Chains A and B, each alone.
Chain A
Amino acid sequence: MTALVDLSLADARTGLNRGDFTSVELTEAHLRAIERRRFLNAFITETPEIAIAQAKASDRRRRAGQVGTMEGLPIAIKDIFCTEGLLTTAASHILDGFRPPYEATVSARLRAAGAVTLGKTNMDEFAMGSSNMTSYYGNVLNPWQRHGAPEIKLVPGGSSGGSAAAVAARLCLAAVGTDTGGSIRQPSSFCGIVGLKPTYGRCSRWGLIAFASSLDQAGPMTRTIRDSALMLGAMSGYDSKDSTSAQVPVPDFEGALTGEIHGLKVGVPCEYRPDGLAPEVIALWDKGISWLKAAGAEPMEISLPHTQYALATYYIIAPAEASSNLARYDGVRYGLRKAGNSSLNEMYMQTRAAGFGQEVQRRVLIGTYVLSAGYYDAYYLKAQKVRTLIIRDFQQAFKTVDVILTPTTPTPAFAMGEQMDDPITMYLNDIFTVPISLAGLPGLSVPAGLSPEGLPLGLQIIGRPFEEQTVLKVGGVLETAACFTQRPSLAVAN
């Protein structure tokens, strides 16, 4: 029998339904795994007592015939979701000791569906980063290693690095992440798992600590496409507490996984093949195209002409919103306060200087600058216009094609210390994910192969707004064709 921690969500669900094991057994297996892999630093807060209590309650419910869609399944929650009574940090010093008296809609829905929560996963501070190196609680180790180079420590990607590492290393069956410019998809690609950023508005942002409100979106991080569909169903849906949440029905995502993609038109954007793109990435992309073609789809080249402006646009809009969203961390009502007998302004300055890390400070400064009088038109306003053009690119493309296929990232996971000198190099990690975020579209990263160094690489499927079903269906076909069964070397052993 497969080890409990190696099961997919769907198989664990079957096992629980059949009575092969209990939620308590399943949960304990994961708690042991977390303990054995604590050196990955995937969690900021582990909550074993809560998990066991939830698992017991779940087993009781099951005996009483109450079985939710996530009943008894142990998952992890990114520490950007406010969890009632439980330390919530966004991986920032400035939220020291913050225990929200409320539960985010997404985590509340997962719990209501029966999920067991193992703890809060590590991340880049306020979700700002692509390496998980900006966390106040220390970096996360990618459980994958380069062939023959176990001494080189790789980043798991970011910002949902803790969630990605935890899922890949078998510390949880699945995890919740958030994606602003690639924060689910890029770490999923780096860690060899499935990561879905749903359409903007699909999942409620209520109780989600804001980075950039017009871009932030929660999504599932899992080891299979079916798991992604299962978990998305439990997380999504309209929420009257979030004015930007969409009033669209939640379809049967799992039911969409038919494998039937005959005649489906797959766009391949020429702008995603810049000079100098790693040959292994190009090769994998071509493989993906041929897999879909073999399954009956019709690949065709398309153009998304404003792609080259997406990264610059993103790094104006996201910091602008962040500079305003993060103004509330002032030391007055919660979290860190640094103040002697100082004035109000001194308290603000001391608290924010001590509480925010370097990357957060950089983005607050950039955001403040681009919104300032005299610069607003040249930066923020122009970026908004370009964002509209990027949205139009996709609308135009989706008149012809049903989905778009691209690589998720330009490289596999890099080593800690690499790409750290220049923030721009780091920002380039998001080059293939950011345009999709700006357009608010669903994007799915599917592990599709290994680089020559033995590191996972993902392919990204992009769909029309609220067509996650199509995206997941195509993802399922890729998953089957790629047959990605490799496990990271630091995963908990069978």
Chain B
Amino acid sequence: MSHWIEGQTGLWEIVIGLEIHAQIISMAKLFSGAATFFGGAPNTQVALFDAAFPGMLPVVNAKCIEQAVRTGLGLNAHINKYSVFARKNYFYADLPAGYQISQHELPIVGPGLVAIDLSDGTSRTIRIERLHLEQDAGKSLHDRHPTRSFIDLNRAGVALMEIVSQPDMHSSEEAAAYVRKLRSILRYLGSCDGNMQEGSLRCDVNVSVRRPDEDFRTRCEIKNINSVRFVVQAIEYEAHRHVRVYESGGSIEQETRFFDSSSGKTLPMRSKEMVHDYRYFQDPDLVPLMLDETFIEDIRTNLPELPDQKKSRFMNIYGLPAYAAGILVEDRETAEYYETVAKGRDPKIVANWVMTSLFGALHRSGREISDSPISADHLGQLIDLIGDGTISSHIAKSVFESMLETGQEPSAIVTAKGLKQVTDSKVIERAIDEVMRQHADKVALYRGGQVRILGWFIGQVMKATDGKANPEKLSTLIKKKLAGSTLSSV
């Protein structure tokens, strides 16, 4: 996971650049009115244009343009008021027109910046080279028939943003942090759902290695990686492969590879003879895209608070450390959840509950915060019950578990299970007396100087009260009694 690979001949630096394809959230495709829902029956969301019927023409979907501009602004990037759609020509069965409409020389978004946080507490800025709009291709289904392939055009023509970074990353951790951060920003903006499993977010990773202070060496592109974990594995494998090849006297050829998740290896995808000449040229069916200042400024004005801004606000107003704030803002729903609970409560205690108990529980059950069985209101109520002394923190843990299972509000669980904390001194004293009566030998030991066994006494009393005794009261009372001042009451 480090910046450097120590080879047999010395140190090598890893150099990584990413191209991320993010599917735009929109009702219709980039140039046709066909629907874009995921998971539709094959070929049910296909307009005549998507299937490249003769004479059919593209009409740009304004919503997709808006989403691209919103994303560009979210990436602190330059918005190009004049951009051009170009055709990228190649033959493939899932590309009906024989060309993909993309942007080549004049993309809609120019250079931008993304800040990433690393586990050692440092931050880095990764430069974005550009963001351009393009059509997605259809899907080739190779597993439905022994000798034939099937084509599903539902995805053909769906709007994609290709976000290209500079080769600014130097470890798989940085690349992973970049993908997570980008995904986080896209989700905040509502321009892409970031779902890597469904393919709404796909990564092409460019990897090379070099000696310290050397120029870039030949890179290899690993296409279509669909999880952050695989991005990490692919980079690790590929960088080490380069080092092995160089150190054994070989050379790396520029090529396109794919990541085989079962073996954890990258393998060549196309041979060199199959390198495409895409013959880009401006699409004559479309006019250049011209954006006016008002359009851009309207979008800028309505941008939501983005992760970086939210993080610094969390640090400032809630007094959270950078690490905790970073984790809480990664996901917009989580941040909203946190803020709902934190309203009028101790922000650090809330952060602790959310980040340890809640995240742990969600992780175990494989759920997202959006379908958490414990609502923000309920978690807040639970924290209040501790605060007003109704239950102890200890009991709260078991109430939390019940809330997870039942989704009930905490006070109902406390009442139903009789978990209300015992604060009545007389009740606690009776329990202490009973324990001391049964363990007179231990009382003697304590009084003989073995004060270390205080904890044991507390434990016994807690057990006797089903954990409901107020810990502070119990501690004060038991110390007094063991000291012998109230023996008279026995």
Q: List the interface of chain A (C-beta within 8 A of B).
A: 81-82, 88, 90, 95, 98, 100-102, 104, 205-210, 212-214, 240-244, 320-321, 323-324, 327-328, 330, 332-334, 341, 344-345, 348, 368, 371-373, 376, 380
Contacts and interface: CB of A to CB of B under 8 A. Distances in A.
B173 to A, nearest CB: 37
Contacts of B99: 324, 327
Nearest to B91: A348
A95 B281 contact: no
A90 B93 contact: no
Most buried by A among B55, B59, B280: B55
B59 A327 contact: no
Contact of A244 (B89, B281, B285): B285
B57 interface: yes
A332 B96 contact: yes
Interface in B206-261: none
Contacts of A82: 53-55
26 contacts: A82-B54, A95-B54, A100-B54, A102-B48, A102-B53, A205-B55, A206-B57, A207-B56, A208-B55, A213-B284, A243-B57, A243-B58, A243-B285, A243-B286, A243-B287, A244-B285, A324-B281, A327-B97, A328-B54, A330-B91, A332-B96, A333-B51, A333-B53, A334-B54, A371-B279, A373-B279
Contacts of A323: 89, 279
A244 B287 contact: yes
B286 A207 contact: no
Contacts of B60: 243
Contacts of B149: 344
Nearest to B60: A243
A205 B48 contact: no
Contacts of B87: 324
B52 interface: yes
Most buried by B among A240, A327, A334: A327
A25 to B, nearest CB: 34
Classify the secondary structure of B's interface with A: loop
A240 B62 CA distance: 13
A87 B322 CA distance: 68
User: Most chain-A CB neighbours within 10 Å: which of B56, B89, B99, B287?
Assistant: B56
A368 B279 contact: yes
Interface in B25-54: 48, 51-54
A241 to B, nearest CB: 6
Interface in B412-453: none
Nearest to B97: A328
A167 to B, nearest CB: 23
A425 to B, nearest CB: 28
Given A332-B96, A333-B96, A348-B91, A100 B287 contact: no
B134 to A, nearest CB: 16
Contacts of B147: 341
A334 B277 contact: no
B151 A332 contact: yes
Given A243-B286, A324-B99, A332-B93, A206 B279 contact: no
Contacts of B277: 372-373
A77 B73 CA distance: 49
Contacts of A81: 55
Contacts of B286: 243-244
A243 B281 contact: no
Q: Give the interface centre of A320, A324, A345 by most chain B CB atoms within 10 Å.
A: A324
Contacts of B92: 344
A95 B89 CA distance: 21
Interface string B57-100: 11110000000000000000000000000010101110011110
Contacts of B55: 81-82, 100, 102, 104, 205-210
B97 A214 contact: no
A101 B284 CA distance: 24
B53 A240 contact: no
A53 to B, nearest CB: 24
A246 B149 CA distance: 42
Contact of B54 (A210, A213, A214, A368): A210
Contacts of A206: 55-57
The 6 closest A-B pairs by CB, nearest first: A327-B98, A213-B284, A371-B279, A214-B284, A328-B52, A207-B55
A100 B98 CA distance: 19
B281 A334 contact: no
A100 B53 contact: yes
B89 A324 contact: yes
Contacts of B279: 323-324, 368, 371-373, 376
Given A81-B55, A324-B87, A330-B91, 4 more contacts: A95-B54, A102-B53, A241-B57, A333-B53
A8 to B, nearest CB: 30
B57 A328 contact: no
Contact of B89 (A333, A371, A380): A371
Given A243-B57, A244-B285, A101 B98 contact: no
Contact of B59 (A88, A102, A241, A330): A241
Contacts of B97: 327-328
Nearest to B283: A213
B22 to A, nearest CB: 24
Contact of A328 (B93, B98, B280, B281): B98
A326 B279 CA distance: 14
A101 B281 contact: no
Contacts of B151: 332
Contacts of B56: 206-207
B96 A213 contact: no
A240 B93 contact: no
A88 B55 CA distance: 11
B355 to A, nearest CB: 50
A328 B57 CA distance: 13
Interface in B279-297: 279-281, 284-287
A372 B279 CA distance: 5
Nearest to B99: A324
A333 B52 contact: yes
Interface in B253-279: 277, 279
Nearest to A216: B284
B470 to A, nearest CB: 73
A81 B279 CA distance: 28
Nearest to A352: B91
B206 to A, nearest CB: 20
A210 to B, nearest CB: 7
Contacts of A332: 93, 96, 151
B51 to A, nearest CB: 6
Contacts of B48: 101-102
A213 B53 contact: no
B276 to A, nearest CB: 10
B58, B92, B93, B285: residue with the most chain A Cβ atoms closer than 10 Å: B285
Contacts of A328: 52, 54, 96-98
Contacts of B284: 212-214, 244, 321
B120 to A, nearest CB: 44
B91 A327 contact: yes
A330 B56 CA distance: 16
B62 to A, nearest CB: 12
Contacts of A214: 284
A205 B57 contact: yes
A368 to B, nearest CB: 7
Interface in B154-197: none
Contacts of B59: 240-243
B285 A330 contact: no
Nearest to B58: A243
Contacts of B93: 332, 344
A95 B54 CA distance: 10
A344 B99 CA distance: 16
Contacts of A243: 57-60, 285-287
A79 to B, nearest CB: 12
A136 to B, nearest CB: 15
Interface in B391-424: none
Interface centre among A82, A212, A341, by most B CB within 10 Å?
A82
